[in-house]
Amino acid sequence: MKRIQRETFSDVMKFKEKHDQIEHILSLYKTGKGFEFLDLPIQVKIALDAVGALFFVDSTEFEQAKATLDKVGRRTGLSSRFVFESKTRGKDTIAAELSTQLGAGGHLGRPVELTRLQYNARIKKWLTMTLVPFGAQCNNFLHSSSMIQNLQSQASFEGPPSFFEHHNCGAGFRMEGSKFTASFAELIFGSGGLDSGGGGTNRMTTFGQVSCKPANDVKLSLSGIWQVHSLSPRFNNLGILAIPLGSLKPGNPTVSGTGEQTELSVKFNNQTGARATSHTVVAVHGASPDVQLPQSMALMADCELYKTLKTEGWLQMERSNHGPVRWGFSLSDIPDNELGWGVKVSGGTTEEMRRRNQLQHLELEGFLNFNLGKGARLQPGLVYAKMESKMTPALFLRSSWAM
């Protein structure tokens, strides 16, 4: 009997360990913290998104209506994100993200690409350093140091377009207290979004955020960025993780004869008819190393009440008076187990439009939010987009599933 009891006890303990592992996986799934491998300390979070639209226009205006919505950032299609996060060196974490982009056009079966690498070093209890050697964005430093915890918040984030621009690499610090949180980051050699094919102007971005909690159910945040766009094309084809020594020094201008000449590549988008793009090279004589680099800034303020009611307002503009100005405002109430709603308003204008007191584009949206359980949600909404004199109403249907 004693021998049988010893053998039975060891078997019972093995079954108990397996049961505890299964309970742990189920608890991660129910709380939305992702999956965790049994033999490896790796958590996995998967987010699937699908966006469809019904255009209230004639068949002859369909292409024009779709182009208008694309220009204001409303794209249809499928996207997926896979985040792998593992703990190392105590409380430090290393994470990688694989994803496919939304709005891939008519191409089906796009490959999954590595879009971000991130390492978080827990220096102190209140101080965390974040290194992003590949795929850095300003919204990486907005919410939490954990990429898995940021996945759900980034999916519903609406802010300035410059917050979503990709950079080659970035680094930042986050200081957390009982009532206050502050973040600071520097992102270098940006080249626009992934959908642009890596083109665009190089940029260096400084990001900062301050948030406070005056009460348990109230959170106030103020975020801002300052961008400097480089006129020199020397760094356009450097690639990822390639930083030249002395890259911050101004380059020598091209000398031709008795004068100096600098070539600037200017890109024009044709707003009428099909989406056409042309490039023009402009020669600027008499340029010197003291030429002022184009600069832009963006500010965003948001207030969160009871972790469900949230309002955001943002403004993005260039330092030059001739640059475009973009703005936006949103108000939403999205509880976990009840019907939610939200409204969004955004627009933009150029100097010529401002002189005529007209908006270049305007976007209005109202939506409902249905939580289907286990990380799935459905958001039907009405969108009205106006690009100059072209108006496009549409019914959008978004569905997302985070597991």
Instruction: Return all residues near 76 (Cβ < 8 A) that are at least 6 apart.
Output: 51, 52, 53, 103
Read off the pLDDT of residues 127-142 as tens digits, 9 standing for 90 and up.
Answer: 999 999 888 888 888 8
Q: How far apart are the first and last CA of the chain?
A: 47
Q: Look at residue 365 and tell me whether its pLDDT is greater than 80.
A: yes
At residue 162, the pLDDT reads 86
C-alpha 378/C-alpha 52 separation (Å) is: 12
**Can you list the domains of the chain with their CATH numbers?**
26-235+263-402 (2.40.160.10)
pTM equals 0.70
**Cα–Cα distance list, 286 to 86, 258, 283, 289 (Å):** 54, 10, 10, 10
Return the CA Rg of the chain.
25
At residue 243, the pLDDT reads 58
C-alpha 325/C-alpha 350 separation (Å) is: 6
C-alpha 31/C-alpha 45 separation (Å) is: 12
Q: Is 292 exposed, middle or buried (0-12, 13-18, 19+ CB in 10 A)?
A: exposed
**Cα–Cα distance list, 151 to 66, 74, 83 (Å):** 28, 20, 8
Read off the pLDDT of residues 150-183 as tens digits, 9 standing for 90 and up.
Answer: 776 666 677 888 888 888 889 999 999 888 999 9
C-alpha 44/C-alpha 76 separation (Å) is: 26
Read off the pLDDT of residues 268-326 as tens digits, 9 standing for 90 and up.
Answer: 344 444 444 444 444 444 444 455 567 889 999 999 998 889 999 999 988 766 678 88
C-alpha 28/C-alpha 310 separation (Å) is: 26
